[in-house]
């Protein structure tokens, strides 16, 4: 088959009279077939090389294909192609170009002696093709000139010559080649560089857009080279000349040329100030305003061509040009303060632009100015600038804040406006909070005096009612507190510190999490906390000598070293907790009445998180903290239940099961609060009792009849213990005595309920237990064996914390909801004291099922003796249980299996 095809190819190639692609396609099919033998391939090569002139194009295509598919033929192919392209000068230019491409893409033959001669040959071929009459080939070769290993000196000449080619794309390729050459090769000959540069300048007025585009880039590159090599004296002049040339292109009619022109303007490094000044004004600045170094006509022509270059750029129709102009404005902007001010003024108007890219570019240039220290915001600009803080686009907001952080404000109203705008933006975009707080902190530290007086103002309003108006969930509060903190850490003189009342720092503690989120770059949470607690603990005016210790600036990054903490951490926690408890009482009423349940829940959740940060050791929880957390949870549930019950808009009965579930949970939690904490004062107990009654009433107001009796009982128990009654209780009692069956009657007492502040006593102890099985890794794989029907003993290890002697504890063992078994735990058998008892115990379980395996859920519960006795029959607790530990699963497997 192979032979047949080959002979077919040979025959048709020999016999054909007119051009036909058939033999070549046959040859190609042979070449690309991997199973064709090398012998056939070499004969193909030979046949092809015999009469190349005929169809040189196809012959060379095939040869290059062979070199690709069969790399080991590349040497042969190289030799053949070489002989074709050098010995047959009359082959088509396209074929010759293809040959050249194939030659340079093939690996060089191993005999290294040939390399110089070889490269000379390719160079010759390249040149002869370039100077040939085929324009497409010339264009293509110029584009790829770098590949052909031509000596730079020759390449330069070729490029330079072809910049005058009649064909625009050849001119463009030549210019691009010159740009590439300028980057790759080091030129030292001034004359040559100037020649190239001037040729580029000449082509700036080419008729074709694409040529002008490349010319702008070329002039920029070679112009910079020219500036580099010129003598120090004339450096400035040649740089100015370059700038003028580039500026003259910003009014080109082609958008691409304009973009290139502005890009190039941004790259020039050294320009006279008067020229830069002129680029920012369309009117020619009068000569006498500038020192008369520059003589009339020369100066005028320069000024005319640069006049208003940037203005034109900024008001261009295309956003690409505008953003490029914004970028290149950086150069004049950092040149001098005077220029920076003008640039800033221009950029302010750009902030009005409709394109996000342009606005962002403008802001970034502003940031550049700010970094260089020339940023000076004027009052008339402030409004516009601060508008970007509430921009729709987040990256614009971020950049705008970056600029703002570096801004210096001259007076108080400006500073206040900035802070207000920041807070406003925070309210609109809460997701920006950390960054906004960081910026507030930054500007506050830079201008401590203003920050302090703002703090004074805002907090003065709040003080009389003791922060009762404060919404400790609002971003505004967080921002104000951050500002206060920043003022105290100001870079300025330290005496402002005393203006900030210490209570503010304690407020700040309640928002520690949010504030410290914003300040992560400056200090970590614990540092902030200790600083805050330090500041809040001192009363009255205090002079902190330690200020310098608090914040020492090292390399612009502030590291806060800790001042010796005078207080125990527990005190701090306690303070925190006190605040939280006070605030709950403060806000719960109005928020629930207004139906702002979701806001309330957020606040509560937030506090919970805040407090949770104090948990240092999860194994040794702090009792007060645990209580508060639990209390917060109760409040959350109560708020929810309240909303479901009392909210007039809500069709209650649609969600009755929701409420039932919430109430159930609420009761359990309340019971835990009531019984698991030892050392509750009378007030605390009454508080919890009242809450329990509220829950009862809530239940009554929905599910009236079945709960009536138990609620009444509770109420009477409560009556006995308490001395004074709240309005809620009195009203509730009246309602109960009326014996009416309308659930809505219970609404009335509920309306009167008001949450009192809970004052926690400090010697609270939390009762808890730890339950463990003595067998290691009890699981499905490693179960305890049992015999169905016979009791099984479970080896347990129990640890009890804070259990007083009279406590009645039960071990509840449940196999399923209905098979429950209780074992009484006798405290006398435990070793140790109330604080901590330990005990190893073999708990018996009698009701082993007739099954291969089962799981037993164990939990330790305490009997609530004060609760009414339940009607539980059989062995077990006679009152409701409160559980002291987490459930523990024990796995059993029948002996038969093991």
Q: Which residues pair with 554 in a beta bridge?
A: 557
Q: Which two tokens stand for residue 576?
A: 């925190």
Determine which residue in the list 23, 308, 361, 444 makes contact with another protein, applying CB under 8 A: 308
Determine which residue in the list 315, 341, 433, 772 makes contact with another protein, applying CB under 8 A: 315
Q: Residues, the chain, total?
A: 898
Of the pair 176, 206, the CB lying nearest another protein is at 206
Our finding on whether 493 is near another protein (CB under 8 A) is no
> Strand 765-766 relative to strand 677-678: parallel, antiparallel, unpaired?
antiparallel
Beta-carbon contacts of residue 206 (< 8 Å; ≥ 6 apart):
168, 171, 212, 215
Of the pair 231, 461, the CB lying nearest another protein is at 231
Would the CA dihedral through 225, 230, 233, 238 be positive or negative? negative
Our finding on whether 204 is near another protein (CB under 8 A) is no
Of the pair 353, 863, the CB lying nearest another protein is at 353
Triad 107, 110, 113: Cα angle to 5°? 115
Residues in region 263-282 near another protein by CB under 8 A? 281-282
Our finding on whether 354 is near another protein (CB under 8 A) is yes
Binding-residue pattern over the window 224 to 253 for another protein, x denoting contact by CB under 8 A: ---------------------------xxx
| HSE-CB of 80 using CA atoms within 13 angstroms | 27
Q: Which residues pair with 582 in a beta bridge?
A: none
Our finding on whether 676 is near another protein (CB under 8 A) is no
Our finding on whether 161 is near another protein (CB under 8 A) is yes
Q: Which two tokens stand for residue 629?
A: 């957390």
Provide the Cα torsion 729, 730, 734, 740; round to 10°.
-20
Residue whose pair of structure tokens reads 């922060």 in the numeric block? 467
Our finding on whether 165 is near another protein (CB under 8 A) is yes
* Binding region for another protein (CB under 8 A) out of 73-81, 305-313, 519-527, 722-730: 305-313
Q: How far apart, in whole angstroms, are the C-alpha atoms of residue 643 and residue 601?
A: 11
Residue whose pair of structure tokens reads 């200020």 in the numeric block? 547
Of the pair 128, 575, the CB lying nearest another protein is at 128
Least distance to another protein, CB of residue 343, Å: 12
Determine which residue in the list 316, 364, 432, 586 makes contact with another protein, applying CB under 8 A: 316
Least distance to another protein, CB of residue 281, Å: 7
Q: How far apart, in whole angstroms, are the C-alpha atoms of residue 285 and residue 342?
A: 14
Our finding on whether 160 is near another protein (CB under 8 A) is yes
Of the pair 98, 257, the CB lying nearest another protein is at 257
Q: How far apart, in whole angstroms, are the C-alpha atoms of residue 441 and residue 535?
A: 17
Our finding on whether 191 is near another protein (CB under 8 A) is yes
Coil, strand or helix at 839: strand
Burial 137-146 (b: 16+ CB within 10 A, else e): bbbbbbbbbe
Least distance to another protein, CB of residue 354, Å: 6
For the chain, the farthest-separated pair of C-alpha atoms sits apart, in whole angstroms, at 127
Determine which residue in the list 103, 175, 350, 773 makes contact with another protein, applying CB under 8 A: 350
Residues in region 71-90 near another protein by CB under 8 A? none
Least distance to another protein, CB of residue 687, Å: 49
Least distance to another protein, CB of residue 752, Å: 44
**Which burial class, exposed, middle or buried, applies to 500 when counting CB atoms under 10 A from its CB (0-12, 13-18, 19+)?**
buried
Q: How far apart, in whole angstroms, are the C-alpha atoms of residue 213 and residue 590?
A: 69
> Strand 831-832 relative to strand 809-814: parallel, antiparallel, unpaired?
unpaired
Instruction: Return left, alpha or beta for 466; rule: phi > 0 is left, psi -120 to 50 is alpha, else beta.
Output: left
Least distance to another protein, CB of residue 119, Å: 22
Q: How far apart, in whole angstroms, are the C-alpha atoms of residue 243 and residue 283?
A: 18
Do 645 and 701 touch, CB atoms closer than 8 A?
yes
Of the pair 387, 569, the CB lying nearest another protein is at 387
Residue whose pair of structure tokens reads 């404005």 in the numeric block? 329
Determine which residue in the list 10, 108, 132, 708 makes contact with another protein, applying CB under 8 A: 132
Our finding on whether 346 is near another protein (CB under 8 A) is yes
Least distance to another protein, CB of residue 215, Å: 13
* Binding region for another protein (CB under 8 A) out of 205-213, 547-555, 677-685, 688-696: 205-213
Our finding on whether 424 is near another protein (CB under 8 A) is no
The DSSP H or E segment spanning 888 is strand 888-894
Least distance to another protein, CB of residue 431, Å: 23
Q: Which two tokens stand for residue 579?
A: 């605040």
Least distance to another protein, CB of residue 209, Å: 8
Binding-residue pattern over the window 701 to 740 for another protein, x denoting contact by CB under 8 A: ----------------------------------------
Our finding on whether 260 is near another protein (CB under 8 A) is no
Of the pair 326, 509, the CB lying nearest another protein is at 326
Determine which residue in the list 205, 378, 754, 816 makes contact with another protein, applying CB under 8 A: 205
Of the pair 8, 256, the CB lying nearest another protein is at 256
* Binding region for another protein (CB under 8 A) out of 310-318, 404-412, 738-746, 754-762: 310-318
Our finding on whether 762 is near another protein (CB under 8 A) is no
**Which burial class, exposed, middle or buried, applies to 257 when counting CB atoms under 10 A from its CB (0-12, 13-18, 19+)?**
buried
Q: Which residues pair with 856 in a beta bridge?
A: 890
Our finding on whether 427 is near another protein (CB under 8 A) is no
Tell how far CA 67 is from the center of its chain. 52
Residue whose pair of structure tokens reads 């194009």 in the numeric block? 57
**Which burial class, exposed, middle or buried, applies to 392 when counting CB atoms under 10 A from its CB (0-12, 13-18, 19+)?**
exposed
Determine which residue in the list 131, 543, 833, 875 makes contact with another protein, applying CB under 8 A: 131
Our finding on whether 312 is near another protein (CB under 8 A) is yes
Of the pair 240, 316, the CB lying nearest another protein is at 316
Instruction: Return left, alpha or beta for 354; rule: phi > 0 is left, psi -120 to 50 is alpha, else beta.
Output: alpha
Least distance to another protein, CB of residue 197, Å: 8
Do 472 and 508 touch, CB atoms closer than 8 A?
no
Determine which residue in the list 86, 101, 294, 318 makes contact with another protein, applying CB under 8 A: 318
Determine which residue in the list 176, 206, 260, 690 makes contact with another protein, applying CB under 8 A: 206
| Size of the residue set binding another protein (CB under 8 A) | 45
Q: How far apart, in whole angstroms, are the C-alpha atoms of residue 533 and residue 535?
A: 5
Tell me how far CA of residue 7 lies from CA of 2, 27, 35, 40, 67, in angstroms: 9, 10, 17, 10, 22
Least distance to another protein, CB of residue 518, Å: 29
Our finding on whether 298 is near another protein (CB under 8 A) is no
The angle, 0 to 180 degrees and rounded to 10, between the axes of the packed helices 232-247 and 255-265 is: 160
Summarize as ranges the residues that interact with another protein (CB under 8 A).
Answer: 130-133, 138, 157, 160-162, 164-165, 189, 191-192, 194-195, 198-199, 205-207, 251-253, 281-283, 301, 304, 307-308, 311-312, 314-319, 346, 349-350, 352, 354-355
């Amino acid at each position: 088959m192979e032979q047949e095809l080959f002979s077919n190819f040979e025959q048709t190639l020999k016999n054909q009279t007119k051009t036909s692609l058939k033999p070549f396609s046959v040859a190609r099919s042979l070449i690309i077939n991997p199973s064709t033998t090398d012998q056939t391939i070499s004969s193909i090569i030979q046949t092809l090389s015999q009469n190349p002139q005929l169809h040189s194009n196809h012959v060379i295509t095939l040869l290059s294909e062979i070199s690709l598919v069969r790399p080991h033929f590349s040497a042969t192919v190289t030799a053949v192609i070489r002989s074709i392209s050098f010995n047959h000068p009359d082959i088509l230019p396209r074929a010759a170009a293809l040959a050249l491409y194939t030659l340079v893409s093939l690996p060089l033959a191993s005999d290294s002696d040939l390399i110089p001669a070889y490269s000379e040959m390719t160079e010759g071929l390249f040149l002869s093709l370039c100077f040939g009459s085929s324009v497409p080939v010339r264009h293509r070769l110029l584009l790829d000139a770098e590949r052909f290993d031509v000596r730079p000196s020759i390449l330069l000449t070729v490029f330079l010559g072809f910049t005058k080619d009649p064909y625009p794309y050849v001119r463009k390729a030549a210019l691009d080649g010159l740009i590439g050459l300028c980057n790759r090769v080091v030129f030292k000959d001034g004359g040559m560089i100037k020649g190239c540069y001037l040729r580029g300048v000449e082509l700036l007025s080419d008729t074709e857009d694409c040529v002008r585009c490349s010319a702008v880039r070329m002039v920029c590159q070679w112009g910079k080279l020219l500036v580099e090599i010129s003598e120090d004296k004339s450096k400035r002049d040649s740089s100015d000349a370059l700038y003028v040339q580039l500026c003259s292109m910003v009014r080109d009619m082609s958008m691409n040329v304009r973009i290139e022109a502005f890009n190039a303007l941004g790259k020039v490094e050294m320009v006279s100030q008067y020229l830069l000044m002129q680029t920012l004004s369309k009117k020619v600045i009068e000569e006498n305003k500038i020192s008369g170094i520059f003589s009339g006509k020369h100066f005028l022509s320069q000024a005319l061509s640069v006049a208003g270059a940037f203005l034109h750029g900024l008001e261009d129709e295309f956003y690409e040009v505008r953003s490029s102009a914004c970028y290149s404005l950086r150069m004049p902007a950092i040149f001098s303060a005077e220029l920076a001010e003008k640039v800033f003024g221009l950029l302010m108007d750009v902030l009005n632009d409709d394109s996000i890219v342009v606005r962002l570019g403008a802001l970034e240039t502003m940031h550049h100015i700010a970094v260089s220290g020339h940023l000076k915001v004027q009052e008339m600009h402030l409004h516009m600038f601060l508008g970007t803080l509430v921009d729709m686009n987040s990256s614009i907001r971020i950049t705008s804040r970056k600029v703002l952080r570096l801004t210096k404000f001259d007076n108080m109203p400006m500073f206040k406006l900035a802070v207000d705008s920041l807070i406003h933006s925070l309210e609109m975009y809460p997701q920006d909070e950390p960054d906004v707080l960081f910026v507030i902190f930054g500007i506050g530290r830079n201008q401590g005096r203003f920050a302090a007086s703002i703090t004074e103002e805002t907090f003065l309003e709040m003080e009389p009612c003791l922060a009762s108006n404060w919404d400790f969930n609002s971003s505004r509060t967080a921002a104000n507190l951050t500002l206060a903190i920043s003022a105290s850490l100001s870079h300025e003189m330290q005496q402002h510190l005393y203006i900030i009342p210490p209570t503010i720092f304690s407020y700040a503690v309640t928002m520690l999490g949010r504030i410290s989120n914003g300040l992560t770059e400056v200090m970590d949470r614990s540092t902030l906390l200790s600083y805050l607690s330090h500041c809040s603990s001192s009363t009255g005016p205090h002079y902190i000598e330690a200020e310098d210790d608090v914040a020492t600036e090292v390399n612009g990054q502030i590291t806060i070293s800790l001042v010796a903490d005078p207080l125990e951490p527990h005190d701090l926690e306690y303070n925190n907790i006190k605040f939280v408890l006070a605030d709950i009482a403060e806000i719960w009423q109005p928020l629930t009445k207004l139906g702002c349940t979701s806001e309330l829940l957020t606040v509560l959740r937030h506090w919970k998180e805040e407090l949770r940060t104090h948990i240092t050791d999860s194994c040794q929880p702090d009792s007060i903290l645990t209580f508060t957390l639990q209390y917060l949870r109760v409040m959350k549930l109560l708020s929810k239940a309240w909303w479901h019950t009392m909210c007039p808009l809500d069709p209650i009965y649609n969600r009755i099961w929701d409420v039932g579930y919430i109430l159930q949970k609420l009761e359990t939690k309340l019971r835990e609060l009531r019984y698991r904490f030892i050392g509750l004062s009378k007030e605390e107990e009454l508080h919890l009792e009242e809450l329990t009654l509220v829950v009862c009433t809530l239940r009554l107001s929905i599910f009236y009849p079945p709960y009536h009796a138990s609620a009444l009982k509770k109420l009477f128990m409560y009556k006995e213990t308490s001395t004074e009654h709240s309005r809620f209780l009195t009203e509730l009692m009246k309602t109960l005595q009326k014996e009416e069956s309308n659930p809505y009657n219970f609404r009335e007492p509920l309306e009167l309920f008001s949450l009192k502040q809970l004052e926690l006593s400090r010697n609270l102890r939390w009762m808890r237990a730890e339950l463990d099985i003595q067998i290691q890794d009890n699981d499905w794989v490693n179960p305890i064996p049992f015999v169905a029907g016979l009791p099984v003993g479970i080896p347990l290890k129990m640890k009890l914390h804070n259990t007083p002697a009279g406590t009645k504890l039960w071990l509840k063992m449940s196999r399923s909801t209905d098979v429950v078994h209780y074992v009484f735990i006798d405290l006398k058998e435990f070793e140790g004291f109330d604080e901590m008892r330990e005990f190893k115990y073999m708990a018996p379980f009698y009701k082993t099922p007739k099954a291969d395996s089962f799981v037993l859920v164990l939990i330790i519960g305490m009997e609530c003796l004060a609760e009414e006795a339940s009607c539980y029959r059989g062995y077990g607790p006679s009152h409701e249980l409160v559980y002291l530990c987490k459930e523990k699963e024990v796995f059993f497997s029948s002996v038969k299996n093991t």
